[in-house]
Amino acid sequence: MLVTSVEIETFRNITKKQTMLVDPEVTCLIGKNESGKTTVLKALHRLNPANNADDFHVTTDYPRRNLARDRRTKDLDTVAP
């Protein structure tokens, strides 16, 4: 599988839709601390798990800053990243 772009929305610390183009020559992910590297890798793992698929837990995987507000206005049991 060749990944050419990644689009993530409403997952962990990503609240708005983010698109990242991937160069075919790239073999690593570099960034400052707390910049979202692990979030990107966890999102990719959910699409194609190497071993065991992870479950989506609203309390840990939904953007924390919007959790309380969105729980009042949306049914978060049906949310999927």
Query: What digits encode the pLDDT tens for the residues 29-42?
Result: 888 988 888 888 88
**Does residue 38 or residue 81 have the better pLDDT?**
38
Q: How would you write 8-60 as a 3-class SS string?
A: ECCECCECCCEEEECCCCCCCCCCCCCCCHHHHHHHHHHHCCCCCCCCCCHHH
d(CA 41, CA 53) in angstroms, rounded, equals 13
Write down the pLDDT at residue 73.
Answer: 84
pLDDT bin (cut points 50, 70, 90) of residue 19 is very high
Between 7 and 59, name the one with better pLDDT.
7
pLDDT band at 80 (very low <50, low <70, confident <90, very high): low
